[in-house]
């Protein structure tokens, strides 16, 4: 795991003044990567690093000589640390690079962001034990968790082609559903559209086909973390998921943050990975002393809803929930990498591993409307009087994430937003 070094020093200051604004997601201790171009142009996207409310064009700053994020992600851990060190030193107050690098800065408000990398493959896991338990109770009151849950990281192969960057607008999905008292299914727009609060783990260096990644090496293959909303049509899912799992209920849209917060930046915010008393310990191939001591991440996650009616009235979004990953995830990112490859599966730079819905132990920490409304049986009343069981057309859902800890500078994951449009059938 990445050790603390000079780039994490809380005393570091940048010559980019907005990097010191209270509550900023992007102080000099963060330095997340993304792909951008000037808004309103058809220029090629280039690699940038967020600093305050600015983004530094790495090629224009002569830090790299290409615009291929996947190539950058494939660098060795040592090369990644060296790049982070060079960026930190160049952006520090008093750096001789200031004059040159100022010319390579763009205001984030004046750029268009793309997906941070090319995502070749996407696997969505199910690491949120509180989410799994609560949802299980809705469908299987006598056995909320399946027997394998505490032994094996559960996952399924998702759809990479429908993943889009924050700001995504998508049509309400259509498909088959079946009411409990109906003799046969019906076809139409989903009536139980939901969000899923997740983290996305992006692979750096890959592995050769047939060569598993051991748990002690898994962290070296993780490039960074981003926010992920894996939208879900719960009524389509209930009808189709047996026996093979999610299909149309999940593949219509997934929304990703434009910024990748690197594993190096997250070094001050690692946490112990501990199983509850009485639970089985991970099998040997999923266990290591380092993973137990610091395999978990300490990230605060929030969900915000902005309805069409709120926007029309000039009202702000309302926060639905706030929770923390240390209370939510039953498996670490390293364990997901190791399990994914234990059969010889080859991962590649840019592959995305979704954490699954990260709900905490209380209702205020729920990561989906399915949980917040008890399967739609108890609608939420919003501050403006509107009610929600599931998402309605015009709703914008935003996820936010940040890390805070004594002795470290707060860093953020930015945010990821998406808006529901009417289904194709409604047009």
Q: Catalytic residue numbers?
A: 131
DSSP 312: H
Strands annotated E in 108-209: 111-114, 122-125, 155-157, 163-165, 168-171, 174-177, 186-189, 193-194, 197-203
Separation between Cα atoms, residue 19 and residue 331, nearest integer Å: 33
Cβ neighbours of residue 164 under 8 Å, at least 6 residues apart? Answer: 115, 170, 253, 254, 255, 256, 418
Q: Strand, helix or coil at 180?
A: coil
Residue 315, CA atoms < 13 Å, CB-side half-sphere: 17
**Pair of tokens at residue 358:** 């990260």
Q: Strand, helix or coil at 200?
A: strand
**Are 282 and 335 in contact, with CB atoms under 8 Å apart?**
yes
Nearest CA-CA partner of 197 in 160, 226, 171: 226
Separation between Cα atoms, residue 411 and residue 400, nearest integer Å: 12
Cβ neighbours of residue 211 under 8 Å, at least 6 residues apart? Answer: 341, 344, 346
């Amino acid at each position: 795991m990445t050790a603390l070094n000079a780039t994490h020093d809380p005393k570091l200051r940048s010559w980019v003044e907005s990097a010191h604004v209270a509550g900023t997601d992007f102080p000099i201790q963060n330095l997340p990567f993304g792909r951008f171009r000037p808004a309103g142009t058809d220029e090629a996207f280039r690699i940038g690093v967020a600093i305050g409310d600015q983004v530094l064009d790495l090629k224009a700053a002569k830090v790299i000589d290409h615009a291929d994020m996947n190539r950058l992600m494939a660098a060795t851990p040592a090369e990644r640390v060296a790049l982070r060190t060079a960026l930190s030193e160049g952006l520090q107050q008093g750096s001789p690079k200031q004059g040159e690098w100022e010319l390579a800065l763009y205001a984030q408000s004046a750029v268009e962001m793309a997906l941070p990398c090319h995502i070749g493959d996407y696997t969505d896991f199910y690491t949120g034990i509180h989410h799994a338990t609560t949802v299980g109770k809705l469908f299987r009151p006598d056995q909320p968790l399946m027997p394998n849950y505490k032994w094996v990281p559960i996952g399924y192969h998702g759809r990479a082609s429908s993943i889009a960057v924050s700001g995504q607008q998508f049509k309400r999905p259509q498909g088959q559903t079946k009411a409990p008292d109906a003799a046969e299914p019906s076809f139409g727009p989903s009536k139980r559209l939901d969000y899923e609060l997740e983290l996305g783990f992006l692979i750096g260096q890959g592995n050769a086909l047939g060569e598993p990644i051991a748990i002690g090496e898994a962290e070296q293959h993780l490039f960074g973390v981003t926010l992920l909303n894996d939208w879900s049509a719960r009524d389509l899912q209930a009808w189709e998921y047996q026996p093979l799992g999610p299909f149309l209920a999940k593949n219509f849209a997934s929304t990703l943050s434009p910024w990748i917060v690197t594993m190096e930046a997250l070094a001050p915010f690692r946490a112990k990975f501990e199983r509850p008393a009485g639970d089985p310990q991970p099998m040997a191939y999923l266990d290591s002393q380092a993973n137990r001591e610091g395999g978990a991440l300490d990230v605060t996650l929030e969900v915000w809803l902005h309805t069409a009616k709120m926007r029309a009235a000039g009202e702000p979004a309302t926060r639905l929930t706030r929770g923390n990953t240390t209370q939510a995830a039953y498996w670490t990112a390293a364990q997901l990498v190791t399990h994914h490859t234990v059969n010889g599966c080859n991962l590649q730079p840019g592959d995305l591993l979704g954490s699954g819905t990260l709900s905490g132990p209380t209702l205020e920490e729920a990561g989906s409307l399915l949980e917040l409304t008890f399967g739609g049986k108890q609608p939420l009343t919003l501050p403006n009087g509107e009610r929600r069981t599931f998402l309605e057309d015009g709703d914008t859902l935003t996820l936010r994430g940040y890390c805070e800890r004594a002795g470290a500078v707060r860093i953020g994951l930015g945010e990821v937003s998406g808006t529901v449009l009417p289904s194709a059938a409604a047009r």
